[in-house]
């Protein structure tokens, strides 16, 4: 009886570990969602090709677009260089992205929805 408890105590963590190994594989999807396809449709051909080329291996179209916007923001000269930024929201219809600089500090940047270049 005591041996069973020891065996279960040893096997349970291994089983949980094997079950979580497949979680990253589930997170990687090869086809974009309908929302991501709508974003891709608004981009011009060279930008669309760049985004689809980079949106592999677990990277989503939204993540790649956010990274491109952050890179363009840094290249244009950020307001506070060296600060960590996060893309909170992207509105393609208005060409606006909201960046978070701190817990309650946000910055709105305008961009061209076709090329993702800042205005």
Listed by start position, the domains of the chain span: 29-110
pLDDT in the model for residue 29: 55
* DSSP annotation of 111: B
Q: Using a cut of 0.75, tell me whether the model's pTM lies above it.
A: no
Q: pLDDT tens digits for 21-71? A: 455 554 555 678 888 898 899 999 999 999 999 998 888 999 999 999 999
pLDDT > 90: percent of the chain? 41
pLDDT in the model for residue 93: 87
14's CB contacts (< 8 A; 6+ apart) are none
β strands within the chain, DSSP E: 86-91, 96-102, 105-110
Q: What is the rounded distance in angstroms from the CA atom of residue 69 to the CA atom of residue 21? A: 32
Identify the residue whose tokens are 């923001």: 73
Q: pLDDT tens digits for 84-107? A: 889 999 988 899 999 998 888 899
């Amino acid at each position: 009886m005591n041996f069973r408890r020891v065996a279960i105590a040893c096997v349970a963590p291994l089983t949980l570990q094997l079950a979580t190994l497949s979680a990253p594989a589930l997170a990687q999807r090869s086809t974009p969602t309908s929302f991501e396809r709508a974003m891709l449709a608004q981009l011009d051909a060279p930008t669309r090709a760049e985004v689809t080329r980079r949106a592999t291996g677990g990277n989503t179209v939204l993540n790649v677009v956010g990274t491109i916007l952050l890179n363009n923001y840094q290249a244009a000269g950020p307001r506070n260089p060296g600060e960590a930024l996060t893309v909170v929201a992207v509105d393609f219809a208005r060409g606006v992205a909201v960046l978070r600089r701190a817990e309650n500090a946000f910055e709105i940047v305008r961009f061209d929805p076709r090329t993702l270049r800042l205005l």
